[in-house]
Amino acid sequence: QLTGWYTERSPMWPGQAFSLQVEESILQKKTKFQKLEIFQSTHYGKVMVLDGAIQFSEKDESSYQEMITFLPLNSHPNPRRVLIIGGGDGGVARETMKHPLVEKVVQCEIDAEVIEACKKYVPSMGCGFDNPKLTLLTGDGSEFLEKTEDKFDVIITDASDPVVAADEGGSETKDGPAVSLFNEDYYTRMKEKLAPGGILCCQGENMWLHASLICRLLKKCKSIFPVVDYAYTCTPTYPSGQIGFILCSKNPETNFKDPITVWGEADADDLPLKYYNADIHRASFVMPSFMRKALKQI
């Protein structure tokens, strides 16, 4: 049972630890793939943790789910068929359904227990699964891509981090289920399943902590896609308070920095969105100098 403060420690972010105050422990279990914890926090709503890494808090999840969804969807002229890999909490499915052009969504999440737990304990996220446009499958996202014969206009990879901390007290690290989604082959597989003009967007880790992983993946992307870009959003409950997105397009004309679909620029207050708007879409590609330098070297 969790009590007091939940502290997020991992060898992926050594020497730092973010804490949230726990009001009530809701669920703690080992699934077939990972350790799953959900708790009610005092000030951030419900929080889900997988293998010791915070996956979302209800307070700030919009800054991640809306950005990972609308950066690619609003950069595509006609995003009718969408594939979501991961995203077992339902947040990205929930956001995808808000786009008026989306007709069909397929989602492949590795861990059915994450889906069930979010439906039961976090309806604000799990509600994403209640839509007839969605076909929900369980399995490894990379294997699914290899097998499927469908083509998609947009592929969103809402993945957990590739390496996870060992259990409490241990000093070793082990590979998490998302390892298969952070290698070069995965990007080649996605390209094959994108329709002409298709776009992908993947969880792209943190520039303060993982610049070399980010640059390695971007370099691979540049060798297979004509247009590649990197954006980031500010999410207080993710490591170092921000998280990036890797964006690739098969269409050489795509300019990710300038959204094609622009909603209510004059009065963004009326949109059913908490974080995303066209200005923050454009701003999310502006890099600090150290990252601009690292990206230039790719």
- Binding ligand AAT (rule: CB under 6 A), the pick from 63, 75, 180, 254 is 180
Torsions phi, psi for 239 (to 5 deg) = -55, 130
Is residue 111 annotated as a catalytic residue, yes or no? no
CA 18 to chain centre: 19
Amino acid at 250: K
- Binding ligand AAT (rule: CB under 6 A), the pick from 203, 249, 254, 277 is 203
- Within residues 242-261, the interface with ligand AAT by CB under 6 A covers 243
**Which residue lies nearer to ligand AAT by CB, 55 or 254?**
55
Contact yes or no for 181/202 (Cβ under 8 A): yes
Q: How near is the Cβ of 63 to ligand AAT at its closest, in Å?
A: 11
Q: What is the rounded end-to-end Cα distance, in angstroms, of the chain?
A: 46
How many Cβ atoms sit within 10 Å of the Cβ of residue 9? Answer: 16
DSSP E strand stretches across the chain: 5-8, 18-30, 35-41, 46-50, 53-57, 81-86, 104-109, 134-138, 152-158, 163-165, 173-175, 194-203, 227-234, 242-249
Instruction: Classify each residue of 133-172 as buried b or exposed e, where b means 16 or more C-beta atoms within 10 Å of its C-beta.
Output: ebebeeebbbebbeebeeebbbbbbbbbbbbbbeeeeeee
Assess 280 for contact with ligand AAT (CB under 6 A). no
Q: How near is the Cβ of 243 to ligand AAT at its closest, in Å?
A: 6
- How many chain residues are in contact with ligand AAT, going by CB under 6 A? 32
Q: How near is the Cβ of 175 to ligand AAT at its closest, in Å?
A: 10
d(CA 83, CA 142): 12
**Which is it for strands 104-109 and 163-165: parallel, antiparallel or unpaired?**
unpaired
Q: Tell me the window of 37-45, 49-57, 208-216, 223-231 that interacts with ligand AAT (CB under 6 A).
A: 49-57
Assess 161 for contact with ligand AAT (CB under 6 A). yes
Assess 22 for contact with ligand AAT (CB under 6 A). no
- Within residues 97-156, the interface with ligand AAT by CB under 6 A covers 108-111, 114, 140-141
Nearest in space to 49 (alpha carbons), one of 25, 66, 69, 67: 25
**Which residue lies nearer to ligand AAT by CB, 74 or 203?**
203
| Nearest 10 degrees: Cα torsion 191, 195, 199, 202 | -50
**Which residue lies nearer to ligand AAT by CB, 41 or 65?**
65
Q: Tell me the window of 84-92, 163-171, 224-232, 262-270 that interacts with ligand AAT (CB under 6 A).
A: 84-92
Q: How near is the Cβ of 235 to ligand AAT at its closest, in Å?
A: 8
Q: How near is the Cβ of 31 to ligand AAT at its closest, in Å?
A: 8
- Binding ligand AAT (rule: CB under 6 A), the pick from 2, 158, 190, 225 is 158
Assess 237 for contact with ligand AAT (CB under 6 A). no
Torsions phi, psi for 254 (to 5 deg) = -60, 135
Q: How near is the Cβ of 237 to ligand AAT at its closest, in Å?
A: 9
> Out of 111, 158, 161, 229, which one is annotated catalytic?
158
**Which residue lies nearer to ligand AAT by CB, 83 or 291?**
83
In what side-by-side order are the strands of the sheet with 5-8?
A: 5-8, 18-30, 35-41, 46-50, 53-57
Name the site residues for ligand AAT (rule: CB under 6 A).
50, 53, 55-56, 64-65, 85-89, 91-92, 108-111, 114, 140-141, 158-161, 177-178, 180-181, 203, 238-239, 243
Residues involved in catalysis: 158
